[in-house]
C-alpha cells in the first residue's frame, strides 16, 4: 500500500508504477528521414503505422488491406 511507503517509493510508483504506454504522433512525410535518424540516434524503435489523408471519415486498414471496423463506430455501418 502506498500509504506506508516512503516518499521516494511513492514517487517512483507514480512515475512508473505498472503500466507501459506507447505514444502515437503525426508528422508530415517530409520529416520521415529526420524521424528515422532520431530513432537510430536515441535507440528507440519508431514505427510508421498509417497515414492521414483529407476526408471526413476514419478508415482503419489492416495488414492485408482490408478495412477494419472501428471500435468507436458502435452501431454504425
> 10: how many CB neighbours lie within 10 A of its CB?
14
Q: How many domains does the chain have?
A: 1
pLDDT of res. 42 = 93
Residues 45, 39: contact at Cβ < 8 Å? yes
Domain encompassing residue 62: 22-77
Q: Is the pLDDT of residue 19 over 90?
A: no
State what percent of residues in the chain have pLDDT above 70: 61
In a domain, 40, yes or no: yes
pLDDT of res. 62 = 79
In a domain, 11, yes or no: no
Instruction: Pick the closest to residue 46 from 55, 58, 38, 54 (CA basis).
Output: 38
In a domain, 8, yes or no: no
In a domain, 53, yes or no: yes
pLDDT of res. 22 = 76
In a domain, 3, yes or no: no
In a domain, 63, yes or no: yes
In a domain, 44, yes or no: yes
In a domain, 30, yes or no: yes
Amino acid at each position: 500500500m502506498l500509504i506506508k511507503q516512503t516518499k521516494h517509493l511513492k514517487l517512483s510508483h507514480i512515475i512508473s508504477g505498472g503500466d507501459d504506454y506507447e505514444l502515437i504522433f503525426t508528422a508530415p512525410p517530409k520529416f520521415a528521414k529526420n524521424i528515422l535518424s532520431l530513432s537510430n540516434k536515441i535507440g528507440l524503435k519508431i514505427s510508421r503505422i498509417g497515414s492521414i489523408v483529407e476526408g471526413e471519415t476514419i478508415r482503419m486498414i489492416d495488414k492485408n488491406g482490408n478495412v477494419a471496423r472501428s471500435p468507436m463506430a458502435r452501431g454504425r455501418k
